[in-house]
Amino acid sequence: MSEVTTLEKPDLKIDQDEGNFSYPEDYAFDAGTGLTEKTIDYICDVKEDPDWVREFRKKALRIFREKPLPTHWASKDLENIHFDDFRYYLSKGAKPKRTWDEVPDDVKRTFERLGIPEKERAFLAGVEAQFDSEAAYSNIKKAVAEQGVIFVGSREGLKEHPEIFRKWFGKVIPTADNKFSALNSAVFSGGSFIYVPKGVKVKHPLQAYFRINAENFGQFERTLIIVDEGAELTYMEGCTAPKFDSVTLHSAVVELVAMKGAKLQYITVQNWSPNVFNLVTKRGLAHEESEIKWIDCNIGSRLTMKYPGVILKGRKARGEVLSIALANNGQHQDTGAKMIHAADETTSNIISKSISIGSGRATYRGLVHIPRHLKGCKNNTECDALLINTESRTDTYPAIVTRGEGNSVQHEASVSKVSAEQIFYMQQRGLSEGQAMSLSVNGFVNELVRQFPMEYSVELKRLIDLEMEGSVG
Amino acid sequence: MKNSLEIKGLKASINGTEILHGLNLTIPKGEVHAIMGKNGSGKSTLAKVMAGHPDYEVTGGDVLLDGKTILGLDPDVRAREGLFLAFQYPSEIPGVTIANFMRAALNARRPEGQEVDAVEYYNELYKKMDLLKIDRSFTSRAVNDGFSGGEKKKNEILQMAMLEPKYAVLDETDSGLDIDALKIVSHGVNSLRGPKMGILVITHYQRLLDYIVPDVVHVMVDGRIVKSGSKELALEMEKKGYDWVENLATA
């Protein structure tokens, strides 16, 4: 049977479980497994990278090889990543599409399966959706383009807008920041490049949906967003991945730049399948009186290590991380936030909520740094953990370094449990055990979720419901 | 028996210790029964066993709701069958408003995809709150979170009013209430009394029964009902003390 006829069967390989679906692999380009200088050359040739990018990648490969795994402080589970078993480049072989009609059917079906409402699908005119390592679909909403906003894949960004791209690329997160930022720098492919010109306020959030669709395929998006003086942008990145038997690696790098007085909000709902290593570096650079806000929800993956940060470089800059982590059986959510105060009167706010279920483990790592010479800086950190049963585990490692006078930090942490009595009480009102747990968890995150955009709070609630239903025996 | 909540020879234990030693009790729909008993007599155990608390093991007897056994059913199934328990110590559910909690409870009683209409729901809710003389702002608070004893009990009665159970068990609803709260809660229960509901009031003190006047009073000693009678029995109990019935139990 040919590929085409199998594709026409609508129920082919599609599992009833949400997000648990896949399509036949049909990749025009494949770099093979393993990572050598030849792999890099292959990627550069296929992508027609300029020379400076080829050099950048090769230098990154050397750094990646030199750097040890951070197992002295992080999970030993990292040792289970076999870097030689991955394919480091895979492309749909298609140029980014411009119209909805040109989008391949299996891609459209994925959107359907992700439960994106009809209305929102129509809104896909403004969506940059990334499937595998290249943008399979990209159509900038007319109004956005008219405002002078650049919203393209990172490949197009570095080729067509080098004057902006090169200025900031790798500047917020240097290649050598950590082993995984080096890995990403060596093999990056896909991701978004966005530039919002001075004073432009982008009304609708720009969105990207990510999905992995090949076994043993690591996905290495590279996103760079620059919001110029006085401009405003909200960017949403959501992802679900099909379930596969063997381990999958995802290691993205996201760099944000907010120029003077700019406002930038970056929202993620991460729902990778439970075999994915999700090792992501995300950081923003906030200039004078600008504001960078990370909203970060981690529901899926086997191990997530992600600590979105903001470097508060200009006076009165403001940074914020609001995060929710849900660690179900077999999962480890190792997340947190970094706030590097580097100017007077800078303020930062961290609110972290984690939920551990069964053998799930949630870890919070925070870093707040306020050096001696600064004045009038403020940080507020709150981290709350909820435990669903006695097996589960939660750890908090806050590191707050404050020197100098006139700077203030506030730190609150709490651990609570969903007790058997609480579940019994709710069951006595007619809710099933799963519904009861789901309600408790939603209650726990409620206050935080209220600060999210409407559509994301609905999606998040749906994901929590699915997780909790699945966690009851 | 149709139209009654029947407890037949019920034996139950916790951690291997038997608390209920073959208890018999029948509450017909439309009646209010009261159980009086000292601390440790097994009153609260009875309430929890009926509701299906996982800590207790039923070792004998049966509990029948309109003729059908409810033993072995999950607590939520029993609730949806029409059994309501007003808790002595209601749990707190941070972040979940009373309005959302009760809506979820009502939706759990309906087929999937046929959720209660929001407008209808709030109309009904406000009607019941007016009946129970509860302030409108109450339902936007998180369930029992930081509530006073009186507020918690008021919340229990409001839920009872909204869920319209066939049988309601009120476990020491008067404990920790001052006289004003007691009056409000009693007023609530009295306004819910009617031919469609059977109510079992569990209490330590006769005082509550001045406000919720029962049709039948039962006295519980050491996991059994030892004496039943009209509302006057409560007054007699108050006067003669529990020693009087304890002697009956051993006699």
State the greatest distance between any 2 C-alpha atoms of chain B, in Å, as a whole number: 59
Q: Which residues of B touch A457 (CB under 8 A)?
A: none
Domain with residue B21: its CATH number is: 3.40.50.300
Q: Where are the beta strands (DSSP E) in A299-405?
A: 303-306, 309-312, 318-327, 332-341, 347-356, 361-370, 378-387, 393-402
CA distance B76 to A154: 52
The pLDDT value given to residue A95: 39
Assess contact for A218 and A251: CB atoms under 8 A.
Answer: yes
The percentage of residues in chain B with a pLDDT greater than 90, rounded to a whole number, is 75
* Alpha-carbon gap, residue A65 to A107, rounded angstroms: 35
Query: Are residues B93 and A428, on separate chains, in Cβ contact within 8 Å?
Result: no
What confidence score (pLDDT) does residue A104 get? 57
Could you say which DSSP state residue A65 is in?
H
pLDDT on residue A125: 30
Of the candidates A240, A254, A248, the residue with the CA atom closest to the CA atom of residue A210: A240
How many angstroms separate the most distant Cα atoms in chain A? 74
List chain A residues with CB under 8 Å of B104.
Answer: 431, 435, 439
Hey, are the CB atoms on B163 and A443 less than 8 Å from each other? Answer: no
On whether residue B17 sits in a domain, the answer given is yes
Please give the pLDDT value at position B184: 87
Closest C-alpha to A76, from A277, A355, A274, A301: A277
Q: Flag if B90 and A432 touch (Cβ within 8 Å).
A: no
CA distance A376 to chain B (A): 33
- Judging contacts by C-beta atoms under 8 Å, the chain A residues touching residue B85 are 428
The type of residue at A142 is K
Beta-bridge partners for A221: none
ipTM above 0.90, yes or no: yes
Nearest residue to A324 via CA among A265, A383, A398: A383
A322 forms beta bridges with A295, A351
The per-residue DSSP string of chain B comes to -TTEEEEEEEEEEETTEEEEEEEEEEEETT-EEEEEE-TTSSHHHHHHHHHT-TTEEEEEEEEEETTEE-TTS-HHHHHHHTEEEE-SSPPP-TT-BHHHHHHHHHHTTS-TT-PPPHHHHHHHHHHHHHHTT--GGGGGSBTTTT--HHHHHHHHHHHHHHH--SEEEEESTTTT--HHHHHHHHHHHHHH-STT-EEEEEES-STHHHHS--SEEEEEETTEEEEEE-THHHHHHHHH-HHHHHHHHH-
Give the Cα separation of A133 and B131 in Å (integer).
62
Across the interface, whether the CB atoms of A429 and B159 are under 8 A apart is answered yes
Question: Residue A403 CA to chain centroid, in angstroms?
Answer: 32
pLDDT above 80 (res B45): yes
Q: Residue B199 pLDDT more than 50? A: yes
- Contact assignment for A439 to B96 by CB distance below 8 Å: yes
How many angstroms separate the CA atoms of B245 and A49, rounded? Answer: 94
What's the CA gap between B156 and B102, in Å, rounded? 11
Contacts of A427 in chain B (CB under 8 A): 52, 74-76, 79
- Kindly provide the b/e burial profile for residues A115-143, where b requires at least 16 CB atoms within 10 angstroms of the residue's own CB: ebeeeeeebbebbbbbbbbbbbbbbbbee
Does a structural domain hold residue B161? yes
| Strand pairing category for A332-341 and A309-312 | parallel
Q: Which of B78, B87, B93 to mutate to test the interface with A (most CBs of A within 10 A)?
A: B93
- Cα–Cα dist A74/A306, whole Å: 11
Subunit contact B93:A427, Cβ cutoff 8 A: no
> Are B96 and A432 in contact (CB < 8 Å)?
no
Out of A422, A428, A445, closest to residue B75 by CB: A428
pLDDT at A205: 78
Rg (CA), chain B: 18
Please say whether the beta carbons of A257 and A284 come within 8 A. yes
A430–B109 C-beta distance less than 8 A: yes
Quote the minimal CA–CA distance from A106 to chain B in Å.
28
For residue B250, the model assigns a pLDDT of: 59
Number of domains making up chain B:
1
Question: Which residues on chain B are in Cβ contact (under 8 Å) with A428?
Answer: 51, 75-76, 78-79, 84-85, 87
Residue B85 and residue B68: Cα distance in Å, rounded? 18
Q: Provide the 10 A C-beta neighbour count for residue B1.
A: 10
Q: Is B93 in contact with A440 (Cβ distance < 8 A)?
A: yes
Tell me the pLDDT of chain A (473 aa) as tens digits.
Answer: 333 333 333 333 333 344 444 444 555 556 677 899 999 998 898 889 999 999 999 999 999 999 999 888 888 899 988 888 887 876 554 334 445 665 556 556 555 655 554 444 443 433 334 443 334 334 444 567 788 999 888 888 999 999 999 999 999 999 999 999 999 999 998 788 999 999 999 987 787 654 444 433 448 889 999 999 999 999 988 655 444 445 588 899 999 999 999 999 999 888 777 888 999 999 999 999 999 999 999 988 899 999 999 999 999 999 999 999 999 889 999 999 999 999 999 999 999 999 998 889 999 999 999 999 999 999 999 999 999 876 667 788 878 777 777 888 888 888 888 888 999 999 999 999 989 999 999 999 988 888 887 767 777 777 787 777 766 65
Instruction: Please tell me which residue, B24 or A126, carries the higher pLDDT value.
Output: B24
Whether B66 maps to a domain, the answer reads yes
A89 CA to chain B: closest CA distance, Å?
44
The H or E element that residue A66 is part of is: helix A51-66
Residue type, B104: A
User: Coil, helix or strand for A152?
Assistant: strand
Q: How confident is the model at residue B29 (pLDDT cuts 50, 70, 90)?
A: very high
Structure tokens at A196: 């919002």
Domain boundaries, chain A: 15-306, 317-329+342-417, 420-473
Domain-located, residue B204? yes
Give the structural domain span for B163.
Answer: 4-91+147-250
